[in-house]
Homo-oligomer: A and B are copies of this chain.
Amino acid sequence: MGQQPITFLRQVVALCCYPQLLESPSFPEDAKQRAQRILQDCGGQSLGSYSASQGVECIRQHVADYITQRDQGVPSDWNNIYLTTGASDGIMSILKLLVSGQDTCRTGVMIPIPQYPLYSAAISELEAVHINYYLDEDNCWALDIEELQRAYLTAKQHCQPRVLCIINPGNPTGQVQSKKCIEEVLHFAYEENMFVMADEVYQDNVYSSDCQFHSFKKVLYEMGPEYFNNVELVSFHSTSKGYTGECGFRGGYMEVLNMDPQVKVQLIKLLSVRLCPPVAGQAAMDVIVNPPKEHEPSYAQFTKEKSSVLDVLAHKARLTERILNSVPGIKCNPVQGAMYAFPRIFIPPRAIQEAQARSMAPDMLYCLKLLEETGICVVPGSGFGQREGTYHFRMTVLPSPEKLKVLLGKLKDFHLCFLEEYSQEEPQLSRSSQHQHRENSKPDA
């Protein structure tokens, strides 16, 4: 999408890969120091050795330092840090560890709806029960504690609810949960003895000036020792989001709090089967948690690149929301964080009938037509889950502002035509003329 990598991160990883570059005058000293520090803790001082299954020791320590700093002094023990192959791997491992039982004893996993499909896929794969709690679209996709309780009580009748997944900032919904909401969730988890999985991979992606990222851990700490020493909580982070977007490196970490020591032994055993996370990804994670300091040579460029990515993302989030909301029949909540807009779309009854006739979700029909007619690819809301009778799609806000404007313009035109087409009486005639009209327009991102 044109987003440039952070120079310092790539320098450190390249230096680790090919340490002969440590002699090169074209790399800054702080990048060399980071690389040397990482290599020092690698077997044979090489990125090619297996690391411990939990990750390279100094990187785990840097992660703990980062968390302490992020949470303004809340202590973090590096023994609770596990480096992972992206966040997905950590999420899968924890779910695998927690899911058990058969029939009505099956483990219930509470997931937000809409959700990131990794969760539903993992839950199916593990034969657990997914318990849907619906985010409140009318309240900017906030998590509603009463809805959480409703879902819990209903599910208790046919499974053992044991795990509560939260994505904050939200994917695909882009909301940033308030501190009060997080407190309520943690109180609920405490009362009902739920294991909390906090997917916080978008912690650096907050755009609304009236929103702030609150880590589940910090809120838990502030609720006092009774909570902080008891609620089982795992938080996930990743190199794939934030201002780095280094998805291909498959870097990530998780911090595991209050896990029973005997269960922890099983977690380590489970992680050991897969040997270790990719060490280059671990190095990338190190840079994110241990960026250049103010007095170091790479600080200025790093800060400039970081702000530039985040500022542009914030701009694109507002731009997307504004243009989408200018279209009749589209309603988009503020994109407070993450990288997505998840607008609600009005689909005329006739289009719904056509979709049903084709055994297709109505928003799938919409998205397929959008793709065919404009080349724009977005994901139907039905892939993430949504309240029955509502329709959405997810789009990223990642393209450059110029492309985004063109794309949203085309989307707007498409939507208006779609509404018109399915409000008319004679679909065959009008669709064929539509098609001719659109043949002249070129596909887009």
Looking at the complex, which of A14-22, A308-316, A374-382, A404-412 is the stretch in contact with chain B? A14-22
Give residues of chain A (5-33) contacting chain B, Cβ–Cβ below 8 Å.
5, 10-11, 13-14, 17-18, 21, 24, 26
The residues of B that contact A280 with a CB separation of less than 8 Å are: 13, 17, 248-249, 278, 280-281
A280 to B17, CA, bound (A): 10
A1 touches B44 (CB 8 A): yes
Partner of A249, one of B48, B85, B92, B240: B48
B26 touches A18 (CB 8 A): no
- Asked if A173 lies at the interface with its beta carbon under 8 angstroms from chain B, I say no
The residues of B that contact A275 with a CB separation of less than 8 Å are: 86, 88, 247, 250
CB distance from A153 to the nearest CB of B (A): 30
B273 touches A250 (CB 8 A): no
Number of copies: 2
Contact code string A344-373 (vs B, CB < 8 Å = 1, else 0)? 000000000000000000000000000000
Classify chain A's interface size: 35 or more
* Contact (A248, B49) CB under 8 Å given A1-B44, A278-B280, A281-B278: yes
- Asked if A294 lies at the interface with its beta carbon under 8 angstroms from chain B, I say no
The residues of B that contact A278 with a CB separation of less than 8 Å are: 85, 248-250, 278, 280-281
A247 to B26, CA, bound (A): 29
Partner of A48, one of B24, B49, B246: B246
* Closest B residue to A282 using CB positions: B248
Q: Which of A13, A96, A248, A278 has the most CB of B within 10 A?
A: A248
* Closest B residue to A49 using CB positions: B248
A96 to B122, CA, bound (A): 13
- Asked if A295 lies at the interface with its beta carbon under 8 angstroms from chain B, I say no
The residues of B that contact A24 with a CB separation of less than 8 Å are: 24, 26
Give residues of chain A (221-257) contacting chain B, Cβ–Cβ below 8 Å.
240, 244-250
A18 to B51, CA, bound (A): 23
Give residues of chain A (101-134) contacting chain B, Cβ–Cβ below 8 Å.
118, 121-122, 125
- Asked if A277 lies at the interface with its beta carbon under 8 angstroms from chain B, I say yes
The residues of B that contact A21 with a CB separation of less than 8 Å are: 14, 21
Partner of A46, one of B5, B92, B121: B5
* Contact (A248, B13) CB under 8 Å given A44-B2, A88-B274: no
Give residues of chain A (47-68) contacting chain B, Cβ–Cβ below 8 Å.
47-51
The residues of B that contact A3 with a CB separation of less than 8 Å are: 44
B18 touches A13 (CB 8 A): yes
The residues of B that contact A5 with a CB separation of less than 8 Å are: 46, 48
A237 to B15, CA, bound (A): 27
A11 touches B1 (CB 8 A): no
- Asked if A42 lies at the interface with its beta carbon under 8 angstroms from chain B, I say yes
CB distance from A11 to the nearest CB of B (A): 6
CB distance from A51 to the nearest CB of B (A): 6
CB distance from A89 to the nearest CB of B (A): 7
- Asked if A287 lies at the interface with its beta carbon under 8 angstroms from chain B, I say no
A273 touches B85 (CB 8 A): no
Partner of A279, one of B89, B248, B276: B248
9 A-B contacts (beta carbon < 8 Å): A1-B44, A2-B44, A3-B44, A13-B280, A24-B24, A50-B248, A247-B276, A250-B250, A250-B278
Known: A46-B248, A88-B275, A278-B278. 7 other contacts (CB 8 A): A13-B280, A85-B274, A88-B274, A89-B274, A92-B274, A249-B280, A250-B279
